[in-house]
Amino acid sequence: MAKFTTASQAGEDLGLEHKEVIRRIRRGDIVAQKLGWNWIIEVPEVEAVKSKSWYIKLMELRASRAAS
């Protein structure tokens, strides 16, 4: 049986705000399922996001801004 996490928890794990996670789900960047009012994401998907190009670019951008 697959393990799931919430969009909020995924955001914490990825260093993204909850709203950004929801935005990325709606754009199709993160695979998730709607369960009532909540979005649930399989735990392996959260790990897979870390290797997606949009996520890598976003983290690089944040790092460069923090270094400035």
| Structural domain harbouring 33 | 4-67
**CATH code of the domain in which 31 resides:** 1.10.1660
Domain count across the chain? 1
* Rounded mean pLDDT, 36-57: 96
Owner of token pair 């990825």: 14
Q: How confident is the model at residue 40 (pLDDT cuts 50, 70, 90)?
A: very high
pTM (two decimals): 0.88
pLDDT at 29: 97
pLDDT given at position 1:
65
3-class state of residue 15 by DSSP: coil
Beta-bridge mates of residue 6 = 40
pLDDT digits (tens, 9 = 90+) for 10-22: 999 999 999 999 9
